[in-house]
Amino acid sequence: MTRRRRLLSYWLLFCSLALGTIAALNASIDVAGVIRGHSREAMAQFISDLARAPYGVAYVPRERAIKLALLQRFPAECYAIGSSHINGIAPNTLPEFLGSCASFLNLWVGEGALDDMLVFARHIGESPGARTVVIGLDWWFIQADTADQWLDQSVEVGLARAFFAESHAEPEAASALSLVPQRMARTLRYLVNGDYLIANLENVAAHGWHWTFDQEAVPVSSEYDSEPVYHADGNMSYTTGQLAIAERSFTCNNGRYDERIAARREPLFVKAASWLRSRNIAVVLVITPVNEVLTRCPSVIWNSRFEARVREIGARLGVPVVGGLDPRPFGITAAEIAIEGLHPLPGAFAKLRALEPTLDANGASAALRARTP
Amino acid sequence: MIFSSAPFIFIFLPACAIAYVISRKISVRLPPYVLIAFSILFYAAWNFEYCLLLLALTAFNWKLGNALALRKSRAVLALGVAINLLNLGLFKYSLFAAEIVRDATGAFLPILALVLPLGISFFTFQKIAYLTDCYRGEVGRLRLREFILFVFFFPQLIAGPIVRAREMIPQLRRLEGKSAGFLAGLALFSAGLAKKAVIADRVALLVDPVFAAIAGGVPVTPLDAWSAVLAYAFQIYFDFSGYSDMAIGLGRMFGVELPVNFASPYQARSMIEFWRRWHITLSRFLRDYLYIPLGGSRRGATIRYRNIMIVMLLGGLWHGAGWAFVCWGGLHGIYLVINHLWRGCRAQTLALRHLGEGLYSFLAWLLTFAAVTVAWVFFRASSLSSARLVLSSMAGWGTAPSQLTNLNGGQAVWLALLLVVVTALPNSNALFRRELAEPSALLPPGLVQRLSWRPTMAWVLLSGLMFMTGVLFMASDSRFLYFQF
């Protein structure tokens, strides 16, 4: 073997060993459960710990798995479905619609979108005691495909899509099998991923080498402020640090503003919402306000068109549409909308009210058109 | 498929390298065919129809080139250049032209919304250069396989370096006998990957929110505006020079030495020097195929400045179909004209005498760097109005700035470190092509020599480390900035 060939072998060996070690580290810590997933028993234990913890448990980024397990284990009367923007909705913050609920679960998930709604709606609709579902709609909600974020539970998305598409013959109806390559690609991405390595190491620094999701939830005390805290109703408390940063730092959510309601997916949304109503479950649509400054961002300028569309859908479904992008009509201040200027705090939700979706002759909401740039 | 993507690194490149090595063992005639097949696959993986279009254009240019090599004909050359420019114009500039007509007359021209073929600006220039070289008698008749490989050779296909037939063809004819550069090429590729994934993509996080806010009409603080523009100066440098390093490294892995494209441009002490260091193969193309044919500097100062302005305006337009790019080119043209005027002016000698060489040199660098950085505003902004808003934000003018706060302490340190890297450390040329090494502001020449690439265990580990960090931080949705041109 020539010297250069030997060196090339060393290079390959070094890179393989190093990347292999990192992959092993990521797989063994796997703070978000994106590689190994989790066992049913471990999730059941986590949910029990969460329900028992008086002040909640430390945040772990596995919203979808946790929320689905919560929904299956502790079915409630009322629910909220949407993205992190609806974190904070609860019976006491939206009393007009949720005030009489004996039990409530906020099923928000990161970047929550239509696929998440379909998964949750199917379970909620089949749950005997369900009465009200609040759906938080963001501008990407109907467009985005979040199927691959369900990871080891991708079968849930396949089932939900097929369930709601059945009578509509939607081209959307994906089999669970079609999500397998997506999941494999995503798993590989996380195995050899520097950002995920950092997140895993940070988790080790916070909780020690022996902490794994499969072992235990981390209950917190009333003073705990190191990480966000999950509560049994699905809501999450931000840390003081996050809120402090949130006050001074937020930016236009660029990269999203070219998204629009996908015409082919809108019927699926309407179908799911109508199905919930047919099961005597009240549906309420929520548009969360953004920081006043962001109302001038391209995304929000575009969003106002989205808002008009949501009001039209609301009118067609005959359901109330609560809130709106502009915080001013509700008297919501900048301090009441946290992280990125997009996440209203509980106090902001309490100020929201329904704007009547009155359609004009062109099928557009006249009240909204006045506010659309 | 981009160089900094998992499919390229873990599937395409190993498959190509293995096939290349095996083909060399089977027959010395096979390697070029292997490279042609993989290069076509590389482009077709993005868009099969456009790959066919590129193949058709390649065949057309080959025919024309061979005809020109046999018999000089201005008409044939003009036809070839026109067809290539027409193709570029159709895909890249038709929408822009329609906008101009609409703004001027109010008339709406029917325009097809076409996807821009990847690398169209690069391969158009490459073919124009080839035809011109054939016409000038600098390139002889080529075999079809030679020409296809010259055009399609995947390391340079999408974003250059813009290569000339006379520097590529002899190398492509000797492919059979070369392999010694594989390890060095791998190391250079790894360095480029790290530049792109670890630096350019990360620094973009400081750029995008501010420009997105401004595109939405939200003014930002001067600090945010300056930090975003400075960060963009680093982003585009590390992105494009990282890409060039990867391309040159890949070329070397397959036995082809591609021309260097960057030589520490932010160390330039004048705009003239900047353009000798930034996107060198484009500057070379513009000089040889536009500036000199226009008359260059041979017909007096006025014509020379006119030529500079024409070249830079067209150079700006080449980068993108929009007024902001034209302004960027125009601004650089003005910078160059001022630079030439200053050079011919007695004030320069006086300033040098009064300030001393060190201070004069520093001020010249500072002014050059500031001028280049400010010009990037036009390059990055989505429109002229956005560019105006960025510039007014930088100046602290206009309406009250938003609550956007983009820069924190750590990021400020990160930017400062990058400034040191681009201005004082040796570049990849110094490390991988010793003959191109320049003195470093921080490191003594002997040390730079000692640090430069050698087939040693230390370099194997270092390049492995760069490759690994690059792979770890590759963003799945990342794009090279110059792919759009």
Tell if the CB–CB gap between B404 and A250 is shorter than 8 Å. yes
- Strand segments, DSSP code E, in A63-197 are 78-82, 104-108, 132-136
Whether the CA torsion A269, A270, A276, A279 is positive or negative: it is: negative
Question: Which chain B residues are within 8 Å of A7, Cβ to Cβ?
Answer: 183, 455-457, 460
pLDDT band at B339 (very low <50, low <70, confident <90, very high): very high
Give me B119's structure tokens.
């690398």
Amino acid letter, B7:
P
Task: Considering only the beta carbons, identify the residue of B210, B403, B461 that sits closest to A14.
Answer: B461
Q: Is B332 a catalytic residue?
A: no
Give me B233's structure tokens.
């100066």
Q: Is residue A23 part of a domain?
A: no
pLDDT tops 60 at residue A373: no
Q: What is the pLDDT of residue B484?
A: 45
3-state DSSP assignment of residue A330: helix
Dihedrals phi, psi of A127, to nearest 5 degrees: -85, 125
Please tell me what DSSP assigns to residue A365. Answer: B
Give me B27's structure tokens.
């027959």
Tell if the CB–CB gap between B218 and A189 is shorter than 8 Å. no
pLDDT in tens, A303-357: 667 788 888 889 888 899 999 888 888 888 878 888 778 889 989 999 988 776 5
Q: Domain of residue A310: give its range.
A: 76-192+228-369
Q: What is the mean pLDDT of residues B308-332?
A: 90
Q: Is residue A118 part of a domain?
A: yes
| Separation between Cα atoms, residue B362 and residue B426, nearest integer Å | 18
More confident residue, B191 or A257: B191
Q: What is the mean pLDDT of residues B258-266?
A: 90
Q: Is residue A274 part of a domain?
A: yes
From the CA of B194, how many Å to the nearest CA of chain A? 12
Q: What is the pLDDT of residue B401?
A: 56
Burial status of residue A63 (CB atoms within 10 A of its CB: 0-12, 13-18, 19 or more): buried
Q: Give the pTM.
A: 0.74
| Separation between Cα atoms, residue A55 and residue B322, nearest integer Å | 56
**Contact of A122 with A33, CB cutoff 8 Å:** no
| Separation between Cα atoms, residue A100 and residue B356, nearest integer Å | 82
Residue A236: which CATH number?
A: 3.40.50
Among chain A residues, CA nearest to B202: A195
- What percentage of chain A exceeds 90 in pLDDT? 28
Tell if the CB–CB gap between A249 and B460 is shorter than 8 Å. no
Q: State the DSSP H helix or E strand holding residue A230, giving kind and residue range, or none if neither.
A: strand A229-230
pLDDT tops 50 at residue B98: yes
pLDDT in tens, B396-440: 876 555 555 556 677 788 889 999 988 888 888 878 876 665 666
pLDDT in tens, B119-132: 888 888 889 999 99
Count how many domains chain A has.
Answer: 1
| Separation between Cα atoms, residue A332 and residue A335, nearest integer Å | 8
Q: Is residue A303 part of a domain?
A: yes
Q: What is the pLDDT of residue A296?
A: 67
From the CA of A14, how many Å to the nearest CA of chain B? 7
| Whether B463 contacts chain A with CB within 8 A | yes
Q: What is the pLDDT of residue A369?
A: 46
Q: Is residue A35 part of a domain?
A: no
Task: Considering only the beta carbons, identify the residue of A197, A255, A297 that sits closest to B472.
Answer: A197
**Contact of A292 with A315, CB cutoff 8 Å:** no
Q: Is residue A272 part of a domain?
A: yes
| Separation between Cα atoms, residue A225 and residue B277, nearest integer Å | 51
Q: Is residue A216 part of a domain?
A: no
Among chain B residues, CA nearest to A26: B472
Burial status of residue B115 (CB atoms within 10 A of its CB: 0-12, 13-18, 19 or more): exposed
Q: What is the pLDDT of residue A370?
A: 46
pLDDT tops 50 at residue B379: yes
Tell if the CB–CB gap between B468 and A195 is shorter than 8 Å. no
3-state DSSP assignment of residue A22: helix
pLDDT in tens, B434-465: 666 566 666 777 777 777 888 888 899 999 99
For residue B161, say if its preceding peptide bond is cis, omega within 30 degrees of 0.
yes
Give the orientation angle of helix B222-253 with respect to helix B384-395, to 10 degrees. Answer: 120
Q: Which residues have CB under 8 Å from B357's CB, separation 6+?
A: none
pLDDT in tens, B16-72: 999 998 988 888 888 889 999 999 999 888 888 888 888 898 999 999 998 988 888
**ipTM for the whole complex:** 0.80
More confident residue, A368 or B273: B273
- What percentage of chain A exceeds 70 in pLDDT? 78
Q: Is residue A339 part of a domain?
A: yes
Task: Considering only the beta carbons, identify the residue of B217, B406, B467 that sits closest to A296.
Answer: B217
From the CA of A236, how many Å to the nearest CA of chain B? 25
Q: Which of residues 90-119 of A touch B (CB under 8 A)?
A: none
Task: Considering only the beta carbons, identify the residue of A7, A192, A195 that sits closest to B183.
Answer: A7
Neighbours of B395 (CB within 10 A): 11
| Whether B7 contacts chain A with CB within 8 A | no
pLDDT band at B476 (very low <50, low <70, confident <90, very high): low
Lowest mean pLDDT among B86-100, B137-151, B205-219: B205-219
| Separation between Cα atoms, residue A298 and residue A253, nearest integer Å | 9
Tell if the CB–CB gap between A10 and B457 is shorter than 8 Å. yes
Q: Which long-range contacts (CB under 8 A, 24 or more apart) does A151-156 make?
A: A151/A33, A151/A34, A151/A37, A151/A64, A151/A65, A151/A183, A151/A186, A151/A187, A152/A33, A152/A37, A152/A38, A152/A65, A152/A183, A153/A37, A153/A64, A153/A65, A153/A68, A154/A179, A154/A180, A154/A182, A154/A183, A155/A179, A156/A68, A156/A119
pLDDT in tens, A4-63: 788 889 999 999 999 999 999 888 888 777 777 767 777 888 888 888 888 888 887 778
More confident residue, B169 or A176: B169
More confident residue, A167 or B452: B452
Tell if the CB–CB gap between B469 and A194 is shorter than 8 Å. yes
Question: Edge-to-edge strand order for the sheet containing A229-230?
Answer: A57-58, A229-230, A236-237
pLDDT in tens, B212-258: 777 766 677 888 888 889 999 999 999 999 999 999 999 999 888 89
